[in-house]
Structure formats: C-alpha cells, structure tokens
Amino acid sequence: MTDRIRAIEGLALVAALTAVFDGVHGLGDQFVQREHDALTKGMHGSHLVYKNDGSPVEENPWRHGKEGRTCTASGYGRRSVSRHVASVGLVT
C-alpha cells in the first residue's frame, strides 16, 4: 500500500508543479522577457545578421567594430530563446 501512496503523492506533486509553471510562464513572457527577444526567438536560416540587433547584413553592410559582428539568423534566434528560458527560469 505504501508504494501506491507514494505514486499518488508523486503524481500530485507533478500536477502542482505543472500548474505553477503554467502560471509563472505567462508572467515571465509578459513582464520579464525583453520585447526584442520575443520578436527574434523564432529567427532561423543561414543568412547573416548583426549580433547586436538581429538586422540582416544586406540592409547595412558597412558596420565596423562591435557593431559589425555577425552571426547566422539561426544562431541569433537560439541566443534569444536562451535569454527567454533564463528569464522564465529565474521567475520560476
């Protein structure tokens, strides 16, 4: 009987944590996540974009120094998703 009670307690814990995470995730999306990350976390592709703002290199190919550093759109999107996950994780 003890194993059955532990299984029920485990399921109850998972359900409670899922409900809390569901509520907190919305808070993290609305108030903690940067708007720029929300807009760019879906970027993908092999074309080059600037690391500081995610704009395509074709729009302004003459940037220099730190402003001129580039990466692929997929890499930029992964960075935005990572910042989103970190912000929601901190809230949780």
- pLDDT attached to residue 1: 59
- 36-86 pLDDT, tens per residue? 888 898 899 999 999 888 888 887 778 777 778 889 999 999 999 999 888
C-beta of residue 40 within 8 angstroms of C-beta of residue 77: yes
For residue 3, pLDDT beyond 80? yes
For residue 15, pLDDT beyond 90? yes
**Angle of CA points 31, 29, 22, to nearest 5°:** 120
Residues 92, 19: Cα–Cα separation, whole Å:
12
